[in-house]
Amino acid sequence: MNAEQVMQELEALGKERTKKMYCANGAQEPLFGVATGAMKPIFRRTGIDQPLAEQLYATGNYDAMYFAGIIADPNGMTEADYNRWMDGAYFYMLSDFVVAVTLAEADIAQQVADAWISSGEDLRMSAGWSCYCWLLGSRPDREFSEAKLAGMLKQVEQTIHQSPERTRYSMNNFMYTVAVSYSPLHDLARETAERVGPVEVGNEQPGKSKQAGKRISAYDNIMKAVEKGRIGFKRKHVRC
């Protein structure tokens, strides 16, 4: 399949209700509103195709950019390629659920994610922390440095409440993911999350008052995971 054919099929799968939902979360035109599950039949015909992924991502169409992440070759992309994709990721559903997810299957994942975490840019920092969540939730514990992750937990504890909006979400999720998916630091992550306490989010969205914000708690979610016996959870695949 070529890019034009994929775009035609994506357009045919678009739903107005899905489009409105994506827009409510920050998506911008152009987009069709395609449910992610509806893309799987197209993927079965394209397979992994990095040149096609590049063409689709470059369209700026949200649905095409999402599908690009599904068919991309993670190890066929360089750090410069991932940075270029991040430049086009204008909201969190692209930064955290397309670019970070694709990066999580690459050999250079930690290297690139570390650079993003240090960037000072909200969406890049969010993608960096999110990438570690995808990594920890899918790769064996032996692939990670316990000392490094402990240092990252300390960084979260010291900076999360002063960090930008999306980064707070991802840092909060990082504490949860370490506690659930990285057994060596379960206790430290749980204790860190307890000290951090609830994290305020939702106050920086355009058109919403401070009262529209909410609080999220990694600690509460960790304890729920403990009760459900989910400690040690690893997913088989990062991408759908």
pLDDT tens-digit map of 31-53: 999 999 999 999 999 999 999 99
- 67 shares a domain with 103: no
| Residue 43 falls inside a structural domain | yes
Q: Domain containing 212: what range?
A: 94-240
pLDDT tens-digit map of 73-108: 999 999 999 999 999 999 999 999 999 999 999 999
What is the average pLDDT score of the chain?
Answer: 94
- 105 shares a domain with 215: yes
Q: In Å, how far are 16, 87, 94 from 90, measured between CA atoms?
A: 21, 7, 7
| Residue 86 falls inside a structural domain | no
Specify the DSSP element, H or E, that contains 79: helix 79-88
Sorted by sequence, the CB contacts under 8 Å of residue 200 that are 6+ apart come out as: 161, 168, 213, 214, 215
pLDDT tens-digit map of 181-236: 999 999 999 999 999 999 999 865 544 444 467 999 999 999 999 999 999 999 88
Residue 43 contacts residue 70 (beta carbons within 8 Å): yes
pTM of the model: 0.93
3-class secondary structure, 198: coil
| Residue 224 falls inside a structural domain | yes
- 216 shares a domain with 130: yes
Q: What is the tally of structural domains in the chain?
A: 2
Structure tokens at 106: 């690459």
Question: What integer pLDDT is reported at residue 239 of this predicted model?
Answer: 80
Q: What number of other Cβ atoms are within 10 A of residue 67's Cβ?
A: 26
Q: Which of 72, 106, 127 is the last residue of a domain?
A: 72
Interatomic CA distance for residues 116 and 184, integer angstroms: 25
- 135 shares a domain with 17: no
- 218 shares a domain with 101: yes
Residue 218 contacts residue 196 (beta carbons within 8 Å): yes
- 61 shares a domain with 174: no
- 223 shares a domain with 158: yes
